[in-house]
A and B are shown apart, each in its own frame.
Chain A
Amino acid sequence: MGMQRSLPAERILGRGHPRVDAREILTKYGTVIALLLLVVVASFASPRFLSPVNLMNVLRQTAIVGVLGIGMTFVILTAGIDLSVGATLALSAVLLAGTLDATGNIWLAMAAALLVGAFVGLANGLGVTLGRVQPFVMTLGMLGIARSLAFLYTKGEPIPVLEMDFLKLGIGYLWRIPVPSIVFLALLAVAAFALHYTRFGRSVYAVGSNEEAARLSGISVGRDKVLVYVISGLTAAAGAILYTAQFAAAPAIAGEGYELDAIAAVVVGGTSLFGGQGGVVGTFIGALIIGILSNALNLMGVSPFAQPLAKGALIILAVLLVGRGRRS
């Protein structure tokens, strides 16, 4: 129960005495606060953390999972999930490397990667909409299929990539910033714009918030759902390009488990798994939080066996904090 009909305007608008609600602040800026806290703690824990070289490292390492997280955000905003992004990355990567090996044409190779990503996304989207398979199940199946295809294509041997012009995409710098980070930020800007300033973005939120209401209001729910999975496939392919360029090889195990990191980035960034709430800016912060945490744990020499524990605890904590604020 909120506003009332015949209240004086001042009472309705709360004019004159803006109330500062701690809970509201926590909901809105909780992830930013968490990020800042983490930076402060990390810089105390390791003097090397704040060095420019290290910060650039963090940015570079965040880029791939962050790019996957962008597509994942679209999917999760519609109350879906895409478990296949890591496997799609691998399939795109091996086909990219294979095409590059066969033709020597960088552009053709990248186009092949993006095409494969879009195709996998299209299959996911059609399965979810026309086939009415639950997103979890559909993309879980696709995870197996795509990963297996990647193994069959490479016969288990990583395909090396030696084209120097291409590798610059992974290890180069532009304006002293790692190229993958620039790609990440550019895609992020495009995605944020699409979500907030386009008709399609509005529909994505509407579909995730109340699918039936959206349908009855003339939104083409099926088309929009297919599109979000295609976007997720495309960002997985973009991730494949960055991956291959960074590691100079395309193994079939590329991107294993990345889907979980991408989902974690989205969720830590405050996007609701129930759809309709959140956005890519949150995912950016979420990806940074996860990236910084891994980096800080490495710098502090924490055993790799213990690192997933810290990550897992952080994810739960972040969701607890954000959820606490949002619930009432």
Chain B
Amino acid sequence: MGENQPVLEVQAITRRYPGVTAVDGVDLALFAGEVHALLGENGAGKSTLIKMIGGALRRDGGRILLHGQEVDFRSPADALAAGIAVIYQELVLCPHLSVAENVLMGHLPQTPTMAVDWPTTRRLVATLLDQLGVTLPLEVPVARLSTAQQQMVEIAKALSRDSRVLVLDEPSAALGRRDLEHLFAVIRRLRERGVAIVYISHRLEEVFEIADRVTVLKDGALVGAWPIADVTMHGLVRAMTGRDLGMLAAPETTVGQPLKLEVRRLGRRGVFADVSLRLHAGDVVGIAGLVGSGRTEVLRAIFGADQPDAGEVLVDGEPVRFRSPAQALRHGLGLLPEDRKTQGLLLGRALRENLSLASLGRFSRFGLLQLGEEERAVRGFIQSLNIATRGPSQSVVTLSGGNQQKVVLARWLARRCRILLFDEPTRGVDVGAKEEIYRLIHELAEQGAAILVVSSELKELFAICQRIHVMREGRLVGEYAGESLREDRVAEAMLIGGASDGDAAVVAG
């Protein structure tokens, strides 16, 4: 690689939106058989760039060269036909169709009578999956697969089109560690076959693990492109943010603070069982676990979004039974959901409406909205959380991921919740915004909130929690605090079931 001609070359590509230039004269060269990491904070222009490469967005300037020939894609279908496949974060499969049908969607082999040629379909798909080193049931509707498996279907789909360029937009965002290993194995196979891969991720460790070269964008412009061997983690962070990342101090312990939330042997049949937790004012407690271990479901059951069928929840020492989230809210609980697009945001609505959604009672008298009061509060949060926006009436769909997340967070701050349940608080959020969100969690805890955090990133939990529970297959398998709070132990518990009796399990508080 290096001296030969790039498979795909982007020259001075530009895309403008009203009031902002999302991508400003960016160059990018992709070579066959390389994994090329594309880095940048949210809003740096990565998504816009790959959408232009994938034919989903028209460019306002610049050129795209494929094998040295200038090309002009008018639609994703054009790009796909030319051998460029983009796999977006939100997977676009047909949930009720089978794996085989999804993989060959759009070019299913046919018999002379125009019926689908099932034997050929199965053979082709089996071969494709085999090349990826993946085993999947061909006849099962993809809705029944895990996110990781669905991702493999997407990759197989791209491969079925004989794509020479494969763009993966944050493929790891929804994956646990084991699924990630699997994904990397597949990426390495593709690399050996000479596919050029663009890999987007916010997790820098991954980039060092898988990438050959790295390109960094900031504010829509190119910062630079380097072989991975020439850069350091700190160097990349500086390139992305323009500043150094400070380390956060571990928060103080909270002995003697009042008990805010207690969960006793909570269970929901077939999902999780026997979950007990205690949160004091000022606590930041984490739940670590793989995707699918039941973490999200525990938060939802505490919050009344799903109904538990065993155990009890106590708020400020009083037993409560929430039949709906509305009741949980009245007791001072707030839940930041796992997926902000499907569970958090009113995408087509204004920032103002999104932010005040949980506090409409506070902003109304006798059912009438106090718009002035609302406006002042919203502007206050825009400023204090440093939300980059044109103003309260901007539609949230046009905000970057980090800013969207801040809006959802602010919704609970406006509500002045005293018990906060955060599910993946920084998923798909850039490094800078991540740090701001951590700082915010610290401040909230200092002001006496009790916070329960679920995250797929151990680093994140270690940065903000004094205590970490590990969840595995629907049960809490260990609690780590103080001396025992070590990353290797927690990781081990997540993957293989944790400490034997009396070893690392600590009862804190």
Contact = CB atoms under 8 A, between A and B. Distances in A.
Interface stretch (A42-50, A80-88, A200-208, A240-248): A200-208
A218 B326 contact: yes
A110 to B, nearest CB: 25
Nearest to A212: B343
Given A19-B18, A19-B19, A14 B402 contact: no
B403 A3 contact: yes
Nearest to A10: B19
B369 A198 contact: yes
B337 interface: yes
B45 interface: yes
B398 A206 contact: no
Contacts, number: 148
A228 to B, nearest CB: 16
B390 A215 contact: no
A231 to B, nearest CB: 15
B335 interface: yes
Q: Which 9 A-B pairs have the closest CB atoms?
A: A14-B19, A2-B398, A209-B346, A218-B329, A4-B43, A217-B358, A218-B326, A3-B388, A217-B357
A2 B220 CA distance: 11
A274 B1 CA distance: 49
A215 B371 contact: no
9 contacts: A21-B18, A197-B368, A198-B367, A201-B369, A212-B343, A216-B303, A216-B305, A218-B358, A219-B326
Interface residues of B, number: 60
A3 B400 contact: yes
Contacts of B394: 2-3
Contacts of B303: 216
Contact of B219 (A2, A4, A200): A4
Interface of A: 1-7, 11-14, 19, 21, 24, 197-203, 205-206, 209-210, 212-220, 276-277
B371 A197 contact: yes
B450 interface: no
Nearest to A274: B348
Given A200-B367, A206-B346, A209-B346, A216 B337 contact: yes
Contacts of A216: 303, 305, 325, 335, 337, 343-344
A11 B364 CA distance: 34
B390 A7 contact: no
Given A212-B337, A217-B358, 8 more contacts: A1-B43, A11-B19, A199-B364, A210-B342, A210-B345, A212-B343, A215-B305, A218-B328
Contact of A11 (B20, B326, B367): B20
A187 B399 CA distance: 36
Nearest to A196: B369
Given A13-B19, A19-B18, A206-B357, A4 B400 contact: yes
A206 B369 CA distance: 15
Contacts of A11: 19-21
Interface string B336-358: 01000011111111000100111
B383 to A, nearest CB: 12
A196 B337 CA distance: 27
Contacts of B349: 205-206, 209, 276
A212 B364 CA distance: 22
Interface in B1-51: 17-22, 41-48
Contacts of B242: 6
